[in-house]
Amino acid sequence: MPQNKLLLTYFEPFGGAETNISQQVAEGIEAEGVIKLCLPVSFKRSPEVLREAVERYQPDFILCLGQCGEGEKIRLERFAMNLMDSEKGDNDGHQPDEETIEVNAPLALRTSLDIKQLQKECMHAELPTVLSNSAGLYVCNRTYFEALRSNSKSLFVHIPKNMDKSIALQIIIKIYGFF
Ligand code: PCA
Protein backbone atom coordinates (compact mmCIF):
# COMPACT_ATOMS: atom_id res chain seq x y z
CA MET A 1 0.00 0.00 0.00
CA PRO A 2 1.38 3.43 -0.81
CA GLN A 3 2.35 5.41 2.23
CA ASN A 4 0.09 8.19 3.48
CA LYS A 5 1.32 11.70 2.84
CA LEU A 6 1.07 14.24 5.64
CA LEU A 7 1.46 17.94 5.03
CA LEU A 8 2.86 19.49 8.23
CA THR A 9 2.67 23.28 8.41
CA TYR A 10 4.08 25.72 10.93
CA PHE A 11 4.42 29.49 11.15
CA GLU A 12 7.15 32.08 11.03
CA PRO A 13 7.39 34.42 14.06
CA PHE A 14 4.89 37.27 14.38
CA GLY A 15 4.09 40.28 16.52
CA GLY A 16 7.75 41.29 16.80
CA ALA A 17 8.84 37.99 18.40
CA GLU A 18 12.03 36.26 17.27
CA THR A 19 10.75 32.72 17.38
CA ASN A 20 7.56 30.74 16.96
CA ILE A 21 7.30 27.53 18.97
CA SER A 22 5.44 25.85 16.09
CA GLN A 23 8.58 26.24 13.96
CA GLN A 24 10.87 24.95 16.71
CA VAL A 25 8.69 21.89 17.25
CA ALA A 26 8.30 21.19 13.52
CA GLU A 27 12.08 21.20 13.16
CA GLY A 28 12.16 18.18 15.48
CA ILE A 29 9.95 16.07 13.21
CA GLU A 30 11.64 13.88 10.65
CA ALA A 31 9.48 11.11 9.32
CA GLU A 32 8.86 9.43 6.02
CA GLY A 33 5.87 10.78 4.16
CA VAL A 34 5.95 14.12 6.01
CA ILE A 35 6.13 17.26 3.88
CA LYS A 36 6.99 20.33 5.94
CA LEU A 37 5.85 23.80 4.99
CA CYS A 38 6.55 27.15 6.65
CA LEU A 39 3.64 29.60 6.36
CA PRO A 40 3.76 33.39 6.52
CA VAL A 41 1.68 35.08 9.23
CA SER A 42 -0.45 36.79 6.60
CA PHE A 43 -4.20 36.53 6.11
CA LYS A 44 -3.67 36.73 2.36
CA ARG A 45 -0.46 34.79 1.73
CA SER A 46 -0.78 31.92 4.19
CA PRO A 47 -3.84 30.34 2.51
CA GLU A 48 -2.25 30.90 -0.92
CA VAL A 49 0.95 29.08 0.07
CA LEU A 50 -1.08 26.28 1.66
CA ARG A 51 -3.33 25.90 -1.39
CA GLU A 52 -0.34 25.62 -3.74
CA ALA A 53 1.22 22.93 -1.55
CA VAL A 54 -2.04 20.98 -1.39
CA GLU A 55 -2.32 21.10 -5.19
CA ARG A 56 1.28 20.03 -5.63
CA TYR A 57 1.52 17.25 -3.01
CA GLN A 58 -2.13 16.09 -2.70
CA PRO A 59 -1.67 15.13 0.97
CA ASP A 60 -3.87 12.53 2.67
CA PHE A 61 -3.82 14.56 5.90
CA ILE A 62 -2.93 18.10 6.90
CA LEU A 63 -1.55 18.91 10.34
CA CYS A 64 -1.15 22.62 11.01
CA LEU A 65 0.87 23.86 13.98
CA GLY A 66 0.56 27.34 15.42
CA GLN A 67 1.49 29.19 18.57
CA CYS A 68 -0.95 30.45 21.17
CA GLY A 69 -0.24 32.73 24.08
CA GLU A 70 -1.60 31.14 27.18
CA GLY A 71 -2.20 27.75 28.73
CA GLU A 72 -0.19 24.69 29.57
CA LYS A 73 -1.84 22.23 27.22
CA ILE A 74 -1.80 21.72 23.49
CA ARG A 75 -5.14 22.74 22.01
CA LEU A 76 -6.75 20.41 19.47
CA GLU A 77 -8.94 22.71 17.39
CA ARG A 78 -12.37 21.44 16.39
CA PHE A 79 -13.51 24.30 14.12
CA ALA A 80 -12.37 26.99 11.75
CA MET A 81 -14.66 30.03 11.62
CA ASN A 82 -15.56 31.76 8.38
CA LEU A 83 -14.41 35.09 9.82
CA MET A 84 -11.27 37.20 10.16
CA ASP A 85 -10.74 39.89 12.75
CA SER A 86 -7.59 41.44 14.13
CA GLU A 87 -6.73 44.71 15.82
CA LYS A 88 -3.00 44.01 16.04
CA GLY A 89 -2.73 43.11 12.33
CA ASP A 90 -0.73 40.40 10.57
CA ASN A 91 2.90 40.52 9.37
CA ASP A 92 1.73 42.49 6.29
CA GLY A 93 -0.05 45.04 8.49
CA HIS A 94 -3.49 43.83 7.42
CA GLN A 95 -6.20 44.33 10.07
CA PRO A 96 -9.48 42.72 8.96
CA ASP A 97 -12.55 44.01 10.76
CA GLU A 98 -14.99 41.10 11.06
CA GLU A 99 -14.44 40.12 7.43
CA THR A 100 -16.08 36.98 6.07
CA ILE A 101 -13.57 34.62 4.43
CA GLU A 102 -15.98 33.22 1.86
CA VAL A 103 -19.53 34.50 1.43
CA ASN A 104 -21.07 31.25 0.19
CA ALA A 105 -19.38 28.99 2.70
CA PRO A 106 -20.75 27.83 6.09
CA LEU A 107 -20.09 29.90 9.21
CA ALA A 108 -17.71 27.21 10.46
CA LEU A 109 -15.93 24.14 9.13
CA ARG A 110 -15.20 21.14 11.36
CA THR A 111 -12.47 18.54 11.25
CA SER A 112 -13.62 15.03 10.37
CA LEU A 113 -10.88 13.47 12.50
CA ASP A 114 -11.91 11.88 15.79
CA ILE A 115 -10.23 14.41 18.02
CA LYS A 116 -12.11 13.20 21.12
CA GLN A 117 -10.48 9.81 20.72
CA LEU A 118 -7.13 11.47 20.05
CA GLN A 119 -7.45 13.58 23.20
CA LYS A 120 -8.31 10.44 25.24
CA GLU A 121 -5.25 8.65 23.90
CA CYS A 122 -3.07 11.63 24.79
CA MET A 123 -4.58 11.73 28.28
CA HIS A 124 -3.83 8.04 28.82
CA ALA A 125 -0.26 8.67 27.75
CA GLU A 126 -0.16 11.61 30.21
CA LEU A 127 0.36 14.08 27.42
CA PRO A 128 -1.34 17.43 28.15
CA THR A 129 -3.91 18.28 25.49
CA VAL A 130 -7.33 19.89 25.53
CA LEU A 131 -10.16 20.10 22.99
CA SER A 132 -10.80 23.64 21.81
CA ASN A 133 -13.84 25.06 20.07
CA SER A 134 -12.16 28.23 18.85
CA ALA A 135 -8.90 28.72 17.00
CA GLY A 136 -9.42 32.50 17.28
CA LEU A 137 -10.05 34.80 14.32
CA TYR A 138 -6.43 35.47 13.40
CA VAL A 139 -4.16 33.86 10.77
CA CYS A 140 -4.24 30.38 12.33
CA ASN A 141 -8.01 30.25 12.00
CA ARG A 142 -7.79 31.59 8.44
CA THR A 143 -5.27 28.89 7.57
CA TYR A 144 -7.33 26.14 9.21
CA PHE A 145 -10.35 27.25 7.19
CA GLU A 146 -8.30 26.81 4.02
CA ALA A 147 -6.98 23.41 5.11
CA LEU A 148 -10.46 22.11 5.97
CA ARG A 149 -11.87 23.45 2.74
CA SER A 150 -9.38 21.37 0.78
CA ASN A 151 -9.35 18.29 3.03
CA SER A 152 -11.61 17.55 6.01
CA LYS A 153 -8.88 15.26 7.37
CA SER A 154 -7.05 18.30 8.64
CA LEU A 155 -6.23 19.28 12.19
CA PHE A 156 -5.00 22.52 13.67
CA VAL A 157 -2.99 22.30 16.85
CA HIS A 158 -2.15 25.35 18.97
CA ILE A 159 1.01 25.08 21.08
CA PRO A 160 1.33 27.47 24.06
CA LYS A 161 4.39 29.61 23.51
CA ASN A 162 6.02 28.73 26.85
CA MET A 163 5.38 25.02 26.67
CA ASP A 164 8.26 22.59 27.17
CA LYS A 165 9.38 21.82 23.62
CA SER A 166 10.20 18.18 24.23
CA ILE A 167 6.70 17.54 25.61
CA ALA A 168 5.14 19.44 22.69
CA LEU A 169 7.21 17.33 20.30
CA GLN A 170 6.07 14.08 21.96
CA ILE A 171 2.46 15.18 21.52
CA ILE A 172 2.94 16.04 17.86
CA ILE A 173 4.55 12.65 17.28
CA LYS A 174 1.58 11.00 19.04
CA ILE A 175 -0.82 12.94 16.78
CA TYR A 176 1.21 11.92 13.76
CA GLY A 177 0.80 8.28 14.79
CA PHE A 178 -2.96 8.84 15.04
CA PHE A 179 -3.33 9.78 11.37
N1 PCA B 1 -0.28 31.86 15.84
C2 PCA B 1 -1.20 32.86 15.29
C3 PCA B 1 -0.79 33.01 13.86
C4 PCA B 1 0.54 32.36 13.73
C5 PCA B 1 0.73 31.59 14.98
O6 PCA B 1 1.67 30.83 15.22
C7 PCA B 1 -2.67 32.52 15.52
O8 PCA B 1 -2.99 31.89 16.55
O9 PCA B 1 -3.50 32.88 14.70
d(CA 86, CA 44) in angstroms, rounded, equals: 13
Helix (H) or strand (E) holding 80: strand 79-81
Q: What is the DSSP letter of 148?
A: H
| Pocket flag, ligand 1, residue 46 (CB < 6 Å) | no
First to last CA, the chain: 15
pLDDT for the residue 70: 80
Tell me, what DSSP letter sits at residue 101?
A: S
44: helix, strand or coil: coil
Provide the angle, in degrees to the nearest 10, between the axes of the packed helices 45-57 and 139-150: 30
In the prediction, which pLDDT does 1 show? 53
User: What's the confidence (pLDDT) of residue 2?
Assistant: 59
H or E, element range at 121: helix 115-124
One-letter identity of residue 164: D
Stretches where the chain sits below pLDDT 50 are: none
Decide: 67 in ligand 1 pocket, CB within 6 A: yes
Distance (Å) from CA 83 to ligand 1 centroid = 15
Q: Is 94 a known active-site residue?
A: no
10 lines ligand 1 (CB under 6 A): no
What pLDDT is stored for residue 87 in this prediction?
97
Active site residue 38: no
- CB < 8 Å & 24+ apart, contacts of 100-103: 101/142, 101/145, 102/149
In terms of C-beta density within 10 A (0-12 exposed, 13-18 middle, 19 or more buried), how is residue 60 classed? Answer: middle
